[in-house]
Structure formats: structure tokens, C-alpha cells
Chains A and B, each alone.
Chain A
């Protein structure tokens, strides 16, 4: 393979792996939107919170990693339940702006009080996966990214099965489609809302663990949340598969932009490209590749 082709392949693989890491975060967003129609601007902060809890637990002498992971999962599930109860239930039926601002406010709270409660210094997470890059053809992938990709794909498979085949998943989809009819059929809507947020908590917990291991945990971890939007717009706000595909596309596009466009423009297209892609998508097919044709066109 010629060197240029090798480089291209390496860029694509690198972009794909980071893209799947983005999908991991986007999944949390999609879960919430799919089940409850709520838009979570605080997804990045959830991931950060999970990371903070993780390193706080690991900070205790001799705490095994497994215990820490269990604590994080439990904490994030509890957080999801609590959040739904206290903040989101009163906001049911309110205009979109209200929920968006509520999650923005929530993001500010977590970002402000998280370091105060858990400590502000950067802490790294040591996962037992080694540091040597995994070689995949011409590409060297950091093992943590491979782990993240595996987790994302596992979630994708798991949630696809859940929503298609399991009783609870079908019930959740019914609730998302039409709350009133679901209630008429005897489905406890409130319980399913809580469940959706709890599931999002689980995804955030794993996202926090993986991203925390990759970047180290501190306040800035929340910034990954901004990447969510291009991914879900591309993939469809309520599609689990879309989150995966959207993440892959965004990751690869970013990578190629950095590699091939940057030299001409003096840098920075990596940031720029996903948003341009997103706008194009919004103009042509706003509900994304896999989303449902549900939004009101003017």
C-alpha cells in the first residue's frame, strides 16, 4: 500500500475510533430524547460527574476498580431518577426553550458544585488495559479508544435489542410516541420516564469512565458534551443506531478535515467541519439519517 493510502487509512481509522467515543456520549442524549422528548444540554456534565465520582471513590486507599465502577453506576442511576423527579417532571408540557434552559442551568450547577464537592485537581483513571497502542493495519489506536468503541457498539447492540424485542423497550417507545394512548393502555408513563433517565445515567457512567480514562478527570471533561449535537443531528435525535453512525461520520470527517483541509486554510477546520455538515443536514434532512419524520416543517 502506498504511503498516501496508508496515511488515509490511518486517518480514517483514527477518526472512526474517536467517533465511536463520541457516540457513547450521544447515546445518553438519544435515550433521553427518545423516551421523554427532553433535550439534555447537560450530557457532557453528566459524563464529567460520573468521572468525578469515579476518581473520588478511587481516591480512597485500596478501593478496587470494580467497586468504584459499581458505585458510579449506582450513583448515576440514582442521579437519573432524582433528576427526573425533581427537575423534569414539573417541566412536562412546557415549551422546548424551558427544558433546554433547565438542562443548561443543570449543567452550570454540576460544573460549579462538582469541583467544590469532589475536588478540582486533575486525576487520572488507571484502567487495566495497558498503554501500548493496538495496531490495526497502518493505524496505531490507543487501547482506551478501542475500549470505548467496543463499549459503544455493545450499547448499540444492547439497546437495539431492548427497544425492539423487550417488553419494557416497546413500552418506552409507546410512551415516546403518545403519552396519552400509552397511559390508556395501562403503561405507567412516569415510571418509564424515570427508567429512561436512569438508563441515560448508566450510559453517562460508562462514558465518564472511558473518557475519564482517556483524558483524565476534571471540570473540563464536560466540554465533550458540545460534540453531541452534530452527532445526533446527523444520526437522528431519537435513533440509537443514528448515534453510532453519526459519531462515526463526524469522527471521520473531523479527521480528514484536519489532515487534508488544514494545510490549506491554516488550521482549525476540524472544529468547523462537523458544524457545516450539521447545517447542511438541517437544511436537507433535519431529522437525520435514521430519525423519524416527526418534526414540524414550516
Chain B
């Protein structure tokens, strides 16, 4: 069963990009408002603490490269790819830096630490804990599939894998969460 791509959304994004490239700075606000929350959501699931900083850097980098954006993927997929690369770069930099306090990779990979105070409902807390048990790649794929509604093809572009591998990661993640919630 083939999902219908959000062609209208993609067309709107391209129009906004053209407007911004033509000098309309208000188009920048529209682009950021359309995608910032989704990027923040994705970044938080990658375990990044400085969500605002990464989201801002993502947009700065994207807007600096709009002249080279060919539109082969959707803008949101492209933004996810940039955000993911930024998070990985930050992790590498933190590993190289002589830390005053040890950096716990497991803690960094933990997706919803920043959301503790927001997600109060117990049921949702259980889901959150179940998602935290996923491997980093499973969590990325699951977030993009369930949280953002991306197709396997789009997920493969963001994560840098194949559609088949993305599909396997999704079903493994779903099985892990079911096991955690319904044992």
C-alpha cells in the first residue's frame, strides 16, 4: 500500500524557498514555523540536550545552502539529515574534548530526558521508557516513522541506510516496545 506523498507541502516549501532567495525575509519565518517543532522532536529523540541550539544550527546551515538545494527530497527530510549530522558531530566533538565530567553515551542516547517534566501522564511515561530501550538506530527510524510519518525511502535518506534496513529497524523497534509494555 503506497502512501501519498505530501506534494502540496513540498510545493509550498519550494515556493517559500524561492521567495526567500528572491529577498523576501518573511518567507524565512514561515519555513522555520513549518518545520522547527518536527526538527526539535527528532533532535530530542537523538538524545541531544541542547535542542534549541541544534535546531537553530540546522536552519542556519540549511538557509546558507538553499542555493544548492535541488529539491530531490522534501525540505523536511533534508532538514532531518542536517540535524542528524549536527548531533553526530557534536557527539564526536564531546568525545574528543577532555571532559571535566565523564560523558555517558548511554545517557546521551537517551531520547526523552528533556521531556521528563512535560510528559506527566503515567501511560505516556511507560511509552517513553519503552522507546528509551531502543538502540539509537531503532529509535531514529521509529521516531521518523511514527513521530513524523516519513516513508521508508525518506527514512533511509536521513539515516543513511537502505529502505529494507529501515523497515527491519522499524519492526524490531515495534516488537521491543510491545514487549516492554505488554509483558
Q: Do A and B come from one complex?
A: no
- Residue numbers of A with Cβ under 8 A of B are none
- Residue numbers of B with Cβ under 8 A of A are none
